[in-house]
Amino acid sequence: MTQWRLHLLVGTGLVLAYPFLPGTSADVAYLLVGVLSVAALVVGALALTPAARPPWYLLAAGQAAFVAGDAVWTWLDLAGLSPFPSAADVLYLAGYPLLAAGMLVLLRRRRHVADVAGVVDGAIVTLALGLLVWVVLAAPTLRGDGTLLERAVAAAYPAGDVLLVAILAQFLLGSGGRTVAFRLLVTGLGLLLVADAGFAVVESASGYEGGAFDLLWLASYVVVGTAGLHPSAAGLGVPATAVAPYSTRRLLALGFAVLVAPLTLVVQLTLGVPLDAWAVAVASTALFGLVVARMDLAIRAIRASSEQRDRLRENLAHLAAHDALTGLANRSRMVAEIRSALHRACRSGSPVGLLFVDLDHFKDVNDTYGHAAGDEVLRVTAGRLQDVVRAGDTVGRIGGDEFVVLVEHPESEEGLVALARRVVDAVGEPVRVGEHATTVGASVGVALARDGSTDPDRLLHEADAAAYRAKSGGRGRAEVFDEALSRELVERGRLESALRAGIAAGELVLHYQPILDTGSGEVAGYEALVRWDRPGHGLVAPADFIPVAERSTLVCDVGRWVLAEATAQLVRWTAEGRGEHLTVSVNLSGRHVAQPGVVTDVADALAASGLAPHRLALEITETVVVDVLEIEEALRALRDLGVRISIDDFGTGYTSIHQLQHLAVDTLKIDRSLVEATTPGVLALVGLVVQAAHAFDLTVVAEGVEEPEQLERLRALGCDSVQGFLFARPEPAGLVADDGPLEPWVTEPRVG
């Protein structure tokens, strides 16, 4: 059993037994309850940190003064003496300020936040109860019989109670947590005050001979001691984090307190007793002043709350319309600004210009120095853009590394181009990132609405298209959206619509090119290459329609179709008797791999065709594997399905050989540009790539093999597989040769 429960149990037992004990035993039990209370407070304080002990030591001292007073009073009573005042009164009266001091220390520690309203509320309650104590106890005592000392000592008791009432009122109405120790301490001191008040009334009326009030004093000892032992006592002096709320109970308490003064006069007039006019008048005046002060505080709190709400609303509106990193207008705000500018342009007939700024090589900064450095580059770029543009122009950030500049009333298209060039120059200045200096560039697209007769999305699209052409044309330059680009966009839109309809109409076809084992010449698998049999145009090569599909999720539709058709075709070939060792390779775009559903697409294709996962290879370009960090998790999930991952066009990106050990891939496919090269340096590089790939348990495929000499070199370097026109061109499934050796092994065998 815990200490506080044991103390509460023993103390309660003694209190219940007290009325049934004979004289001396009752006195001993009374003193024992008090001593246990003091001991409990001391033991509880010792369990706390040294800084938290002082208020509990003061409470223990106050209880000890009461216990000492009980002991002296008992000794005098047993001796047949009953002097008043006596040493017992001195000890009793000393207990009140000690208890009040302990409570005051706790109160001050709990008030970490300013709670002026709580202080005023406590003062209102204290003043009202003080008036009652004066009218009922103190004033009659001071007007009664006896010497001045006797009357002063008798009046000192209610004064001590008023002191405790004042502290308790602040304690109850102030801020801070209402823990178990809090409730026990307040209850214990409340029992003491009730017992004191009841004793004073009975004593002044007919003399007190013992009874219920003794039990209340004893219960006060027990409950206060239990508060000191309870574990939550450690948190009683913890500073509050918020002001206590203005509850209904507080409102009722304050309302009753304000009515005490007039009700006192009503009761005195009704009973015909002497009026305490001056006391009531002073208390009423003070209460009126406190109520006015409380109203003023309430009005200020309401005003402050309203102002805070307005500031919060403004902040939320600002956050909703601005980029948190740079402080610039975000995409939604910029669209609204462009729309407003176009509306004004419709009325005035003036042009509106838009610059689309796409940063060059920004990803290199993140990869080299980290995302914190990238954030700093974006902040610096935002500042430079604001410095370059005119005072009335609006700068926004609409994407990761994409900015726009809205220019109203531009002087001319030439002026917009000049501004775009200044933007390119400003952004291209080195940026200091920690101890390093880094540089990014800018590709800028310029679009002009001459009379506002367009919509924001179209103007953004035109500027974006111009920026795309600037980036494709070499980066670090500005391009203007013109008629040629407009026609290109229209044609691209038509092509995309036709492709979308072509997919639905079944116009896509697959051609297959064999991949051969370099040593044996046996066909190891086939690469599935998509073609579009477009009505009226003939067979369209992927280079003519895949880039258009790449600019939207349409490329994912193409990828899903190729996956389903290629896996099903390999299953059909297997059923026709071709080797079960054959694999099929399918190209997946970076956009498709980055989609959340890519793993599901591959799994669905395998399930629908019944192809074993290890017979499917997914080819992904090197630049996608290296540049799109988000696909790493997707690649690992795909490998978990059992499919193989191949890096296509290896040698065209920036993958270092050291990175190979960290990539979730199985095969490297060397780009044709390295296969075609004949310089010693490139040949040595190919050999190094093959050796490194084998060191990391990767296989190597060389594509674009068109000359016997290329095959001979690749075999000598240890390349595992080859593919190219030297052996076969991509053909429809019905024309693909079987899986035996192909030329030139049959006619021109070579030994590597």
Residues belonging to the active site: 401
Asked if residue 12 lies in contact with residue 222, where contact means CB atoms within 8 angstroms, the answer is yes
CA distance 464 to 471: 10
CB-based burial label for 592 (10 Å; 0-12, 13-18, 19+): buried
Residues 6+ apart with CB under 8 A from 748: 708
- In this structure, the strands spanning 441-449 and 478-480 are parallel
CA distance 389 to 405: 8
Cis amide bond preceding 744, omega within 30: yes
- Residue 160 has φ and ψ, to the nearest 5°, of -60, -40
CA distance 655 to 625: 9
Cross-strand pairs, 250:
none
Amino acid at 176: G
CA angle 514, 516, 522 (to 5 degrees): 110
Structure tokens at 536: 């009226």
Amino acid at 688: L
CA distance 518 to 63: 98
Q: For residue 383, count other CB atoms closer than 10 A to its CB.
A: 15
CA distance 328 to 393: 12
Residues 6+ apart with CB under 8 A from 91: 65, 66, 68, 69, 72
Amino acid at 570: L
CA distance 629 to 652: 18
Residues 6+ apart with CB under 8 A from 608: 564, 567, 568
- Residue 531 has φ and ψ, to the nearest 5°, of -130, 160
Nearest to residue 33, comparing CAs of 308, 193, 161, 225?
Answer: 225
Nearest to residue 619, comparing CAs of 587, 593, 659?
Answer: 587
Q: Is 491 helix (H, G, I), strand (E, B) or coil?
A: helix
Asked if residue 100 lies in contact with residue 167, where contact means CB atoms within 8 angstroms, the answer is yes
Q: For residue 92, count other CB atoms closer than 10 A to its CB.
A: 23
CA distance 47 to 230: 10
- Residue 327 has φ and ψ, to the nearest 5°, of 80, 0
**624: number of CA atoms within 13 Å, CB side?**
23
Q: Mutual orientation of helices 23-46 and 3-17 as an angle, nearest 10°?
A: 160
Cross-strand pairs, 585:
527, 617
Q: For residue 709, count other CB atoms closer than 10 A to its CB.
A: 10
Q: Is 359 helix (H, G, I), strand (E, B) or coil?
A: strand
